[in-house]
Amino acid sequence: MNDWGFPFGRLTWDAMPFTHILQAETRLELSSAIVASTAAGMALLGALVALWIITRKRWWGPLWRDWLTSVDHKKIGIMYVVFSFFMLARALAEAIVMRTQQAVGADGGGIVAAEHFGELFTTHGTIMIFFMAMPFLTGLINYVVPLQIGARDVAFPVLNSVSLMLTIAGGAILMVSLLLAPFSTGGWTGYPPFTGAAFNPGAGPDYWIWAVTLSSLGTTFSGINFAVTIYKKRCPGMTLMRMPLFSWTSLCTSILMTFAMPPLTIATALLALDRYLGFHFFTNDGGGNMMNYANLFWLFGHPEVYILILPAFGVWSEVFAIFSGKTLYGYTALVLATMSIAVLSFTVWVHHFFTMGQSADLNAAFGIATMAIGIPTGVKIYDWMLTMYRGRVRMTVPMLYAVAFLFLFSIGGLSGILLANPTIDFQVHNTLFLVAHFHNMLIPGLLFGMIAGYTLWFPKAFGFRLDDRWGYRAAWCWIIGFMAAFFPLYALGLMGMPRRMAGYFDPYWTPFTLVALAGAGILLAGFLCLVAQLWVSVRHRARLAVPVGDPWDGRTLEWALPAPPPEWNFPSQPNVEGRDPFATLKEAGMDVGPPEEGFEDIEMPKNALLGPVSGAIGVALAFALVWHMWWAALPLALLVPAVLVAQGFRRDTEKIVPAEEVGREWRAYRALAAATPQGAAPRRADPRKSGPRHSHAAGDGAMSGSVSRHPGLTLGSGSGRVDDEAETQAFGFWVFMMSDAVLFGLLIATYVVMRPATNGGPGPQELYELRPIFIETLLLLASSVAMGFSQLALKHDSHPRGMIGWLLVAMAFALAFAGYELHDFVKMSSEGGTPGVSGFLSSFWALVPLHGLHVLSACLWAAGLLGQIAVYGVDDKVKLGMARLSVLWHFLDLVWIGIFSVVYIGGLA
């Protein structure tokens, strides 16, 4: 059917799955169309029911005010977790369909066509990695880490909201593919040529590109935010080596997010350029190479494994310590092991393509590096086991998951050691053995850890525990279901069954696929048990209430707060004197008293619209790009810088919580604690009992003593921040610049690799001229000098005229640079140097114009600051903005020097 045309772009009736029922020509096509239509109908019905309930209950106002526009890290963390559970439901449903297809797919039968099966394994993998696992763990980090380190919030609350909404936007555009057009069939890795325009010109790969790109941007911002928060927002006394292990693993994860996500962003962006503008990064006909994509993707892909698994390791550390009733064994070794894993994760990406034709020596080197990463992981297993040794273990629901994790994860690790051997990898590569291995790592290691963390911190977030009976039922379903679903895949892989197969003709495979289907059904039952557990727990929340907020006899700062904690977390800045500060306090029979010098006003950030606006723009822009609605895409793209400039004019960003309100909340909590059987001034619990036992003999007297002499934890005076706000923002911007430097470094490396690929077209010698390039360099350097003088004038002049004058000079030089560069681009195009000619020109046109866009963005930022000066004068926000702009300006000069040296001087040499 023809495209509808303007204003719908290439959108047609054929994009809707319901029409495929009428077009089906075979029984399998009809069955596949019915499955797809049912899924689309259920998703649409679920969305309509949700909208009806929210409208009927009049929840739109509270939903908007209290949640969607909130910048409270706790609410943002909860929204991440809720979103990930919804995405898990879809991914599980797709897994059931795939397992059913393989169980009944012998001799070409089944319930879905091969093309539809390809879409299912693509969406399943994409959701589980990008829209279930990462959001869930990001949500846990968001909720728990600021509480564990004694912070009021994350370093950049508004950016935290933007990160959430970009992630939800990516998930939303993926869900739209249920209703409009099939999804990609290129797998969760998006490998070309399967996702190239020649092989698949439809909308499916475009859905994948923009969904993953939005997720990647959101995750990068989260990584920067968490890294700065943990490094700069720790309370007094909370040195790095006193942080809880969950905060340590979160720190390493945030560093991985910051530096591993740019390769993914580059890979998807270059793939989009290939598809939309005819570039030749990954197309053989233009001198491109698919291996460029493989290297970029797996530079992200293997650190991504540890982005997922390290926070789960942190959860396990908390679980083993709490439910063994002991201090964590080998704390220093666990910290060093975590750091080692994070570093080594960047050195092993080639093991994902041992069979791609590189030398045996290279394969051997990366095989050894892959085996080496098992050493720090083994240290962790050893330390967790010794934490339980001679402890008084309570087999709670989280601990049941933890014990199962030790056994099952070790099996997955051993199968990984086998795959690290290139000779073995050659035999089982691209078989179900590999599928069994990575599910063996991610389900016990990651998914069990997610559920254990969810169960552990749920009482802290909502004030009541989850029902134990349904929790145990869910745990046993997940444990048994996992073994039944994935252990048979090891055997199938050794028997030679390829992964991603919709059908087969070997009858000996069928019994194993039937067992795997039964296991998948048990896993689904485990998920339904979690839903039932939540339902039962909400209904009986009065019986399960934990008003004191310490149902497990916890050891770290978050358990010293009420459940749920107030918006400001702590009534004043905590002071810690060792590891496990709350446990130390309880062991001494003492309690957390009020601040030594009384309560003070607390400054907290106000709600912000930037997050929801960013998410809405992200969804709309992605949809317009998928369906080639250029009339909408261009204004939406221009709206992004406009919104950011408008955000710069926002001044009323903070609110004051009065000291009276803070004190009233704290006293009410302590009075409730004193009157609650769960305790006021808790002592060490006896882990042999079914739950923690607290003494409340101390009562209010424990709160009025000399808290400065309490061991482990006190509340200091005042509400001051650990680090100056300007220092925190400066540090955060430097981290952002380092992430941006990775992006430019990868593009420069891509250019170096593709420079020989001229494809018979013009090369550097024919296209580059040194004189105009030298003039451009002088202009940009001159702008940097002017920016430096502008900063000096800001620091030393009482009047802003000098600063404004030099800033205008810097902008003039930078715009002259951009204009001169644009002239060169036009001239190069007229001489046949367009990006569609060759891989060499594609790499040039991706790198150099991107730097030019950065320069124009810096000029736009400068113009926004000048506007703020006109409205507000040179206030603190302008000064902070000028300091960050100066860093960006000089950074772009350094990048240009790299481009000038590698691209132009290297090309002409």
Task: Read off the amino acid at residue 579.
Answer: R
pLDDT digits 0-9 by tens, 534-583: 999 999 999 999 988 899 999 999 999 998 999 999 988 888 888 999 88
411 belongs to a structural domain: yes
**What is the predicted pLDDT for the residue at 669?**
84
- Are 798 and 823 found together in one domain? yes
- Are 217 and 314 found together in one domain? yes
- The DSSP bridge partners found for residue 346 are none
pLDDT grade, residue 596 (50/70/90)? low
- Beta strands (DSSP E) in 185-275 are none
**What is the predicted pLDDT for the residue at 2?**
53
- Are 351 and 389 found together in one domain? yes
Domain count, the chain: 3
Residue 128 carries which DSSP code? I
pLDDT grade, residue 701 (50/70/90)? very low
Q: How far is Cα of residue 165 from the mean position of the Cα atoms in its chain?
A: 12
Q: How far is 136 from 611, CA to CA, in rounded Å? A: 18
32 belongs to a structural domain: no
Give the closest residue to 188 by CA, choosing from 125, 146, 248, 115: 125
What are the backbone angles phi and psi of residue 654, rounded to the nearest 5°? Answer: -120, 155
**What is the predicted pLDDT for the residue at 694?**
38
**What is the predicted pLDDT for the residue at 308?**
95
569 belongs to a structural domain: yes
- Are 525 and 569 found together in one domain? no
- The predicted model gives 426-453 an average pLDDT of 95
- The predicted model gives 349-355 an average pLDDT of 90
**What is the predicted pLDDT for the residue at 424?**
94
Domain boundary among 686, 715, 744: 715
pLDDT digits 0-9 by tens, 841-896: 999 999 999 999 999 999 999 999 999 999 999 998 999 999 999 999 999 999 99
pLDDT digits 0-9 by tens, 401-434: 999 999 999 999 999 999 999 999 999 999 999 9
The better pLDDT of the pair 800, 696 is held by 800
For residue 424 the two structure tokens come to 């073995």
Question: What is the length of the chain?
Answer: 909
What are the backbone angles phi and psi of residue 713, rounded to the nearest 5°? Answer: -150, 130
**What is the predicted pLDDT for the residue at 7?**
82
6 belongs to a structural domain: no
- The predicted model gives 796-810 an average pLDDT of 88
Percent of the chain with pLDDT over 70: 93
**What is the predicted pLDDT for the residue at 677?**
59
Domain boundary among 539, 566, 587: 539
- Are 698 and 760 found together in one domain? no
pLDDT beyond 90 at 800: no
- The predicted model gives 181-191 an average pLDDT of 92
**What is the predicted pLDDT for the residue at 716?**
64
pLDDT digits 0-9 by tens, 29-51: 899 989 989 999 999 999 999 99
CATH number at residue 890: 1.20.120.80
**What is the predicted pLDDT for the residue at 4?**
59
- Are 178 and 301 found together in one domain? yes
147 belongs to a structural domain: yes
**What is the predicted pLDDT for the residue at 693?**
36
Task: Read off the amino acid at residue 197.
Answer: A
Q: Find out whether 71 and 653 touch, Cβ atoms under 8 Å.
A: no
644 belongs to a structural domain: no
The better pLDDT of the pair 675, 717 is held by 675
741 belongs to a structural domain: yes
**What is the predicted pLDDT for the residue at 685?**
41
pTM: 0.93
Across all residues in the chain, what is the average pLDDT? 90
**What is the predicted pLDDT for the residue at 722?**
44
Q: Find out whether 86 and 156 touch, Cβ atoms under 8 Å.
A: no
Q: State how far the alpha carbon of 463 is from the alpha carbons of 150, 537, 561, 662, in Å.
A: 20, 11, 11, 19
For residue 445 the two structure tokens come to 């290691």
- Are 305 and 410 found together in one domain? yes
- The DSSP bridge partners found for residue 498 are 431
- The predicted model gives 159-186 an average pLDDT of 94
pLDDT grade, residue 298 (50/70/90)? very high
Pairing mode, if any, of strands 574-576 and 602-605?
A: unpaired
CATH number at residue 503: 1.20.210.10
Residue 681 lies in domain: 557-604+656-715
Percent of the chain with pLDDT over 90: 76
Would you list the DSSP string of 411-477?
Answer: HHHHHHHHHTSHHHHHHHTTBHHHHHHHHHHHIIIIIHHHHHHHHHHHHHHHSBPPPHHHHHHHHHH
763 belongs to a structural domain: yes
Q: Is 106 exposed, middle or buried (0-12, 13-18, 19+ CB in 10 A)?
A: middle
Q: State how far the alpha carbon of 579 is from the alpha carbons of 244, 526, 556, 575, in Å.
A: 7, 36, 8, 12
Q: Find out whether 166 and 618 touch, Cβ atoms under 8 Å.
A: yes
Q: Find out whether 433 and 493 touch, Cβ atoms under 8 Å.
A: yes
- Are 465 and 565 found together in one domain? no
- Are 682 and 779 found together in one domain? no
pLDDT beyond 60 at 182: yes
**What is the predicted pLDDT for the residue at 708?**
37
pLDDT grade, residue 700 (50/70/90)? very low
- Are 201 and 257 found together in one domain? yes
pLDDT digits 0-9 by tens, 361-378: 999 999 999 999 999 999
- Are 484 and 588 found together in one domain? no
**What is the predicted pLDDT for the residue at 897?**
96
From 8-22, 413-427, 656-670, 743-757, the region with the lowest mean pLDDT: 8-22
pLDDT digits 0-9 by tens, 605-617: 999 999 999 999 9
pLDDT grade, residue 718 (50/70/90)? very low
- The DSSP bridge partners found for residue 714 are 575
- Are 704 and 780 found together in one domain? no
ω into 7 cis (within 30 of 0): yes
- CB neighbours of 737 closer than 8 A, spacing ≥ 6? 887, 888, 891
Q: How far is 615 from 632, CA to CA, in rounded Å? A: 16
Domain boundary among 664, 688, 715: 715
Q: Find out whether 212 and 299 touch, Cβ atoms under 8 Å.
A: no
pLDDT beyond 70 at 721: no
- The predicted model gives 637-663 an average pLDDT of 92
Q: Which of helix, strand or coil describes residue 705?
A: coil
- How many DSSP H helices and E strands does the chain contain? 31, 4
Using only C-alpha atoms, the chain has a radius of gyration, in whole angstroms, of 29
Q: Is 700 exposed, middle or buried (0-12, 13-18, 19+ CB in 10 A)?
A: middle
Place of tokens 């309570």: 394
Q: Which of helix, strand or coil describes residue 713?
A: strand
pLDDT digits 0-9 by tens, 723-763: 578 889 999 999 999 999 999 999 999 999 999 998 888 99
ω into 677 cis (within 30 of 0): no
